[in-house]
Structure 1
Amino acid sequence: MEVKPSPLPMLPVRDWSDLPTDALSTIFMKLGSIEVLMGAGLVCHSWLAAAKSPELWRSVDMTRHKVVFSKGIDTMCAMAKVAIDRSQGKMESFLAQKFVTSELLDYIACRASSLKSIRLIACRNFWEPSLAELATQCPLLEEIECSGNKVSSEFLVYVGRARPQLKRLKIHMRWFDEDAMESEMEHEMEHEMMHDDDDDEEEEEEEEEEEGEFLYEDENVDDDEDEGEKDEEIEEDEDENNDDDDEEEEMEEDEDLDEDKNDVVEEEEDEDMDEGEDDENETNEEWEVRKNKDAFAIAENMPELRLLQISGNNLTNKGVHAILDGCPHLECFDLSECYNVRVDDQLRARCAKIKHAWLPRQSPRVHCLDLRVIEEDEGEDYGITMQDLWEAEVETLEAEAKMEEGSYGDYYEDYSALSSPESCVDSKDALVCTMEAVPSPLPDTDSDRDWSELPVDALSAIFTKLGLLRS
């Protein structure tokens, strides 16, 4: 008779809502601001209380999340206001992507006097004066990022004068040739004007044709009256012929005067040619000034900068040297995609004194985490999430186990073991192919597990995966 083993003793199930608030706050700090606002803070009252801890909202990061791309601007601004209110004036860093408006910037300026860093990624729904006013009302501000936007030199001058202690400025944007764009716009405007003139000419011709038809009808009616008038006109023409002889003599005298005037005009044209060369030189200087407005504004008003990311700007070598002279404490300088800058030996020698200097057309570049750019669409969900890839990996391993037992099923693929979600292929076709050979799912167990009894090495592995997913 077989002896059945005695069942394992049931361990007491812990109520995670009884965890101390400080412990929950520490755990929530590992999550992102959006996850806390939309997930952890909605579980129970104790978790909501922990989610309202001001210490949790010193740094608010609302970037690289699929919610940013799926929710409307009003919804995201409302979530940001909740985070700002929970900080109780202690927020030091605010990082947002795409949704920021002028009204939200005004809200931050009134409620975050401790703000030290504001970073706006591809936010095109606010006006520059709102950001400038925020800089004025936040005396501790040391970092401003406005990536993906074209900011004016007037804004840089205003911010530099309001916050001369600014240490980090990022105004990264994609390169475009301003002169070529202006030329193209002028060409389009000329084309439209010519098209409008052609339309006006066609309308005038149609009006003239209508008037001609009207006059033709009037001539048929008044033919008899015109015959008498023609006789009078013939007599007047004879008198005019006598006057023409006198006019010919006067014209001969005028020709002599015109010859003298032509000599004077030729002398004036020679003088204009000389003046034209001077005007061309002035135009080149004006071009340099126009291209380097941003650079001159930074050099003259932000002497304490340690990091400057101005990639994609239209500045020239003259502007770069002005920045190097006006910002002597620079440690990180990003000039990538500044294709008006000519990299010569003089520029290399000056940039060699900077810890991290990224020059245009330079490869490879020294890695610098502070100069990393958050792309405009970074974090957008394209259909396959990390959870989907992880589930596909688990199912692949289960399919491999079946294959080792000799039960290959209806389909067979040479699967290889995957070690993490990052090693999964990011392709819908590969995911579908993997799903075809998956056996039936394992039955669910009814027993409640006490996850707090997991070994320390297992918990470390789980936390490592969470860190990977977060990054």
Structure 2
Amino acid sequence: MCGVWRHICKDPLMWRTLNMRILHTRHRRLTGHTLDKLCHRAVDRSNGLLEQIFLDQFVTGDLLLHIVNRNHCIRVMRIKRCTISSKALIEAAKKLRLLEELDLSLFDDLTWKSLEAVGRNCSGLRSLKLNKVLPTRSYQQSNKGKNSQAFAIAKYMGELRHLELLGNCLDGTGLVAILDGCPHLESLDLRGCRFRLTESLTRRCSQRIKRVRFPHERIHDEYFRALRYN
């Protein structure tokens, strides 16, 4: 690297956006430890000016906490296919006061408490994606837990405009809760969810929300590519 570019890259303004998902996809030989070190270095260079961050499955709870402790201006966060403890997510949410867009797709199951912490602390959140790999037709979950995420969203994220829940295990009760608790929704994606909407609930969704993708609608292969690469 020439001296001019080396000098430019030390400017924190060059590090307002950090996208390591492409790096992880194209260079699969890189270990999680190497990616962790690279991410730490990039976050430190941002000097608190990081606004957008896009990471993949190498993220740990410790790395997430390092990111949010060094940067309080994050507005967009997409961290997919990660295994991060509920405790770490709750602590991280306390530092994300300016967060507007959050994507936690392909995560291990998120607890009700984690989403509650996000809702309580990120009052400016407008877009949430909790997409999953689509369940098989035999997929089942106990009635006790299948609407827990929907109830947390409804209770603590009333300012949402965009919500994606592809492959979620909620049912009509969870959807009603979201419609009651999130009156400003402009788009809602329920493709791949395993429940049937009643005629009245279908009508209510269509009348209330500008763009609705219903559970029965077909999902093309582009969805899986988007989950992997975007």
Instruction: Give the structure-2-normalised TM-score.
Output: 0.88
Report the counterpart of residue 13 of structure 2 in structure 1: 55
Report the counterpart of residue 142 of structure 1 in structure 2: 100
Report the counterpart of residue 35 of structure 2 in structure 1: 76
**Deviation at 1:53?**
2.1
Tell me, in whole angstroms, the C-alpha distance in 1 between the residues paired with 2:32 and 2:26. 11
Residues 26-85 of structure 1: CA distance to partner in whole angstroms, max 9, x if unpaired? Answer: xxxxxxxxxxxxxxxxx1121111122222211111113444522001111111112111
Higher strand share: 2
Q: Relative to structure 1, is the Cα distance of residues 122 and 131 closer, same or farther in structure 2, using a 3 angstrom cutoff?
A: same
Alignment map for 1:170-249 (pairs within 5 Å): 170-176=129-135
Secondary structure of the corresponding residue to residue 308 of structure 1:
strand
Alignment equivalent of 2:203, drawn from 336, 349, 356:
349
Q: Relative to structure 1, is the Cα distance of residues 104 and 68 closer, same or farther in structure 2, using a 3 angstrom cutoff?
A: farther
Unmatched segments (≥5 aa) in structure 2: none
* Contact 1:157-1:298 within 8 A present in 2 as well: yes
Tell me, in whole angstroms, the C-alpha distance in 1 between the residues paired with 2:210 and 2:87. 33
Q: Relative to structure 1, is the Cα distance of residues 291 and 70 closer, same or farther in structure 2, using a 3 angstrom cutoff?
A: same
- Tell me if 1:118 matches 2:77: yes
* Contact 1:143-1:168 within 8 A present in 2 as well: yes
Alignment map for 1:354-373 (pairs within 5 Å): 354-363=209-218
Alignment map for 1:317-396 (pairs within 5 Å): 317-340=172-195, 342-352=196-206, 353-363=208-218, 374-376=226-228, 378=229
* Contact 2:93-2:117 within 8 A present in 1 as well: no
* Contact 1:68-1:97 within 8 A present in 2 as well: no
Tell me, in whole angstroms, the C-alpha distance in 2 between the residues paired with 1:375 and 1:121. 8
Tell me, in whole angstroms, the C-alpha distance in 2 between the residues paired with 1:118 and 1:132. 15
Q: Relative to structure 1, is the Cα distance of residues 139 and 325 closer, same or farther in structure 2, using a 3 angstrom cutoff?
A: same
What letter corresponds to residue 117 of structure 1 in structure 2?
V
Tell me, in whole angstroms, the C-alpha distance in 2 between the residues paired with 1:141 and 1:161. 12
Report the counterpart of residue 105 of structure 1 in structure 2: 64
Q: Relative to structure 1, is the Cα distance of residues 130 and 179 closer, same or farther in structure 2, using a 3 angstrom cutoff?
A: farther
* Contact 1:109-1:137 within 8 A present in 2 as well: yes
**Deviation at 1:375?**
2.7
Q: Relative to structure 1, is the Cα distance of residues 144 and 123 closer, same or farther in structure 2, using a 3 angstrom cutoff?
A: same
Larger Cα-atom Rg: 1
Report the counterpart of residue 131 of structure 1 in structure 2: 89
RMSD: 2.5
Residues 379-425 of structure 1: CA distance to partner in whole angstroms, max 9, x if unpaired? Answer: 9xxxxxxxxxxxxxxxxxxxxxxxxxxxxxxxxxxxxxxxxxxxxxx
Tell me, in whole angstroms, the C-alpha distance in 1 between the residues paired with 2:112 and 2:190. 17
Alignment map for 1:274-293 (pairs within 5 Å): 287=143, 289-293=144-148
* Contact 2:132-2:167 within 8 A present in 1 as well: yes
Q: Relative to structure 1, is the Cα distance of residues 364 and 174 closer, same or farther in structure 2, using a 3 angstrom cutoff?
A: closer
What letter corresponds to residue 350 of structure 1 in structure 2?
R
Alignment map for 1:256-267 (pairs within 5 Å): none
* Contact 2:192-2:219 within 8 A present in 1 as well: no
Instruction: Give the structure-1-normalised TM-score.
Output: 0.45
**Deviation at 1:360?**
1.1
Residues 162-208 of structure 1: CA distance to partner in whole angstroms, max 9, x if unpaired? Answer: 223321111110133698567xxxxxxxxxxxxxxxxxxxxxxxxxx
What letter corresponds to residue 56 of structure 1 in structure 2?
M
What letter corresponds to residue 227 of structure 2 in structure 1?
E
Tell me, in whole angstroms, the C-alpha distance in 2 between the residues paired with 1:372 and 1:351. 25
Secondary structure of the corresponding residue to residue 13 of structure 2:
helix
Tell me, in whole angstroms, the C-alpha distance in 2 between the residues paired with 1:109 and 1:305. 22
Report the counterpart of residue 44 of structure 2 in structure 1: 85
Identity of aligned residues (%): 33
What letter corresponds to residue 162 of structure 2 in structure 1?
L
Unmatched segments (≥5 aa) in structure 1: 1-42, 183-285, 366-370, 380-471
**Deviation at 1:373?**
6.8
- Tell me if 1:162 matches 2:16: no
**Deviation at 1:292?**
1.3
Secondary structure of the corresponding residue to residue 48 of structure 2:
coil
Report the counterpart of residue 170 of structure 2 in structure 1: 315
Report the counterpart of residue 414 of structure 1 in structure 2: none
Tell me, in whole angstroms, the C-alpha distance in 2 between the residues paired with 1:97 and 1:70. 15
* Contact 1:148-1:171 within 8 A present in 2 as well: yes
Q: How many residues in Structure 1 have an aligned counterpart in Structure 2?
A: 225
What letter corresponds to residue 184 of structure 2 in structure 1?
H
Tell me, in whole angstroms, the C-alpha distance in 1 between the residues paired with 2:49 and 2:200. 46
Tell me, in whole angstroms, the C-alpha distance in 1 between the residues paired with 2:29 and 2:46. 25
